[in-house]
């Protein structure tokens, strides 16, 4: 039975960098300093939090990171309203088709669950995803795959080798291949040429502009 594991940001939706806004606001609130910029692409929120705080010269403790996470959760609803985003082309038809065909799918995302669910709910996608593997479930993206597989089994997936990670960064490709899965990558999250080039060089098994060709994607992953 085929299993699909979806990333969120840049794959299912663009949030207008709501996550960046929430992180930036939280750094300023907690440390009274203006943060620089980091590459969020494909990272876990826990990794991104530590990197951004370290980037302003602070060495956050576990307690500091928990407080920071609570600030991000508090800010996210405002960030989602402030930043203009959208569900990406083909996402709704594809998810509806997967339900129709009874193909098992879930989430494999670098988002913390609470803020990730906020994003999905804001853009009308939350009801599609009963389960997922989140940044809360591991310290690296690669560690999330076994978590996702276990949750898939608990939700009726019969184990096979036809496992696909669907994402928009080289980290999704590396995560898939490190776990003997395949990667269908989309370029919808490539907001500059450097990110796009790195995605191409990571050699996903399939590379598409977006998820708009529902029937074609079903054929490719079946």
3-state secondary structure 129-175: CCCEECHHHCCCHHHHHHHHHHHHHHCCCCCCCCEEEEECCHHHHHH
Contact 168, 13 (CB under 8 A): no
Residues 6+ apart with CB under 8 A from 202: 170, 173, 174, 185
Give the up-direction half-sphere exposure of residue 168: CA atoms within 13 A in the CB hemisphere.
24
Q: Is 101 helix (H, G, I), strand (E, B) or coil?
A: helix
Predicted confidence pLDDT, tens digits, the chain (222 residues): 899 999 999 999 999 999 999 999 999 999 998 776 666 677 899 999 998 898 889 999 999 999 999 999 999 999 999 998 999 999 999 999 999 999 999 999 999 999 999 999 999 999 999 999 999 999 999 999 999 999 999 999 988 889 999 999 999 999 999 999 999 999 998 878 888 899 999 999 999 999 999 999 999 998
How confident is the model at residue 160, as a pLDDT? Answer: 80
Rounded CA Rg of the chain:
17
User: Quick count: other Cβ atoms within 10 Å of Cβ 197?
Assistant: 12
Domain 3-15+85-221 has CATH 3.40.50.1000: yes
Question: What strands lie across the sheet with 104-108, from one edge to the other?
Answer: 132-133, 104-108, 3-6, 163-167, 182-186, 206-208
pTM, whole model, 2 decimals?
0.95
Locate tokens 């450097």: which residue?
194
Q: Is 52 helix (H, G, I), strand (E, B) or coil?
A: helix
Phi/psi of residue 209, nearest 5 degrees: -65, -45
How confident is the model at residue 56, as a pLDDT? Answer: 87
Give the up-direction half-sphere exposure of residue 48: CA atoms within 13 A in the CB hemisphere.
25
The whole-angstrom separation of Cα 206 and Cα 28 is 40
């Amino acid at each position: 039975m085929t299993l699909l594991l979806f990333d969120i940001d840049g794959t299912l939706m663009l949030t207008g960098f709501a996550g960046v806004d929430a992180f930036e606001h939280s750094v300023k609130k907690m440390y009274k300093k203006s943060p620089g910029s980091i590459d969020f692409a494909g990272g876990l929120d826990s990794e991104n939090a530590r990197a951004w705080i370290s980037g302003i010269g602070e060495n956050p403790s576990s307690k500091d990171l928990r407080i920071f996470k609570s600030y991000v959760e508090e800010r996210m609803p405002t960030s989602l309203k402030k930043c203009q985003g959208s569900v990406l082309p083909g996402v709704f038809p594809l998810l509806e088709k997967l339900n129709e065909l009874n193909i098992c799918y879930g989430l494999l995302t670098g988002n913390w669950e609470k803020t990730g669910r906020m994003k999905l709910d804001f853009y009308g996608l939350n009801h599609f995803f009963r389960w997922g593997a989140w940044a809360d479930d591991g310290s690296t993206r690669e560690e999330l795959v076994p978590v996702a597989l276990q949750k898939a089994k608990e939700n009726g997936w019969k184990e096979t080798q036809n496992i696909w990670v669907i994402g928009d960064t080289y980290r999704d490709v590396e995560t898939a291949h490190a776990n003997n899965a395949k990667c269908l990558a989309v370029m919808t999250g490539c907001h500059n040429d450097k990110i796009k080039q790195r995605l191409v060089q990571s050699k996903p098994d399939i590379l598409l502009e977006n998820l708009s060709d529902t029937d074609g994607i079903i054929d490719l992953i079946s």
